Amino acid sequence: MDDVKTRTEGRAGIVTLARPQALNALSHPMSLAIEAAFDAWRDDPAIALVIMEAEGEKAFCAGGDIASIYHQAKAGALQPARDFWRDEYRLNVKIAEYPKPIVSFMQGFIMGGGVGLGCHGSHRIVGESSRVAMPECGIGLIPDVGGSLILARAPGRVGEYVGLTGERLNAADAIFAGFANLYVPGEDWPALKRGLIETGDATRAEEAARPVEGATLPGLMPMLDRVFSAETLSEILERLEGEGGETAEKALAAIRRSSPISLAATLEILRRARGFSSVREAVALEYRFTWRSHELGDFVEGIRAQLIDKDRTPHWKHPAADAAPAPYIAMMLSSLGENDIQ
């Protein structure tokens, strides 16, 4: 299909996201096409590794194609989005468990669905332009596509901070937080890709990696641990108010703009995910929320405010960031019965 190109060259299977005009937003057909390629290459002895790349300078993938979900939901069609998320999460798990090296070249924005594509493989490369974020709470969703597990495994309380605020991470911070593991200057990417294609040797990526400077998260760790270790959202907000300083004020503003349902669910999911051993467990829990999100959560209103009307003034179901009742969050994360991901 035109929006994603899959091909084999030399020793590599190559997936190229080809929607640069839409920041390579991931659609349901794109997800299925990528999965089909991964399935075809899994047992092909001619393919030693997979390269994930994207056209355009602005984004590797800025997220899922959520505008279509809005229009479907407004028309009363809830199942298409649920089918998309189920299939997308299955792809995320296959990437995480793939038996061959996957080398992701992630330029520009890597958000939401882009994290699910690029940040679970073995060799996750970022460069100067890379900006990683999980801003889902701002649109009434939760950090999904297995991103909750990455956040839960981040050092200290970095996961809560990044997940609740949607903070954009530069290359150094993305590596520190666990979204990427290699920094390669952008000018070196073409030669590295040629070497990977020719040899099928993924250690070429490790050899091309360079030290990266500019990480801000390590210096924030004492404050983040102090604030985001609080048990509840109310306590986190209270600690942020008492903390002062630019980072705390920015975090406070970001949280107050976001969906109360999404914030509370994200906090609960991250706390549970610290006990998970695999992406499978993470996406199973995430799916319970996303399955309900456009009917019982704030997702449709979040898309409206951000992408459709673009007034940036969402009318959430609850009036304050910490106002979502605990029983409601428990319901959003409860079993879906036969609809649970198995």
CA distance readout (Å), 297 to 57, 184, 284: 34, 40, 18
Per the document, the length of the chain is 342
Is 113 noted as a catalytic residue in this protein?
A: yes
Rounded CA-CA distance 272/52 in Å is 30
Q: Which of 65, 144, 173, 298 is catalytic?
A: 144
Q: Which of 136, 167, 173, 301 is catalytic?
A: 136
Is 156 noted as a catalytic residue in this protein?
A: no
Is 64 noted as a catalytic residue in this protein?
A: yes
Rounded CA-CA distance 127/108 in Å is 8
Q: Which of 64, 112, 138, 302 is catalytic?
A: 64
3-state secondary structure string across the chain: CCCEEEEEECCEEEEEECCHHHCCCECHHHHHHHHHHHHHHHCCCCCCEEEEEECCCCEEECCECCHHHHHHHHCCCCHHHHHHHHHHHHHHHHHHCCCCCEEEEECEEEECHHHHHHCCCCEEEECCCCEEECCHHHHCCCCCCCHHHHHHHCCCCHHHHHHHHCCCECHHHHHHHCCCCEECCHHHHHHHHHHHHHHCCCHHHHHHCCCCCCCCHHHHHHHHHHHHCCCCHHHHHHHHHHHCCHHHHHHHHHHHHCCHHHHHHHHHHHHHHCCCCCHHHHHHHHHHHHHHHHHHCCHHHHHHHHHHCCCCCCCCCCCCCCCCCHHHHHHHCCCCHHHCCC
Both structure tokens of 274: 């610290």
Is 219 noted as a catalytic residue in this protein?
A: no
Q: Which of 63, 108, 113, 118 is catalytic?
A: 113
Active-site positions? 64, 113, 136, 144
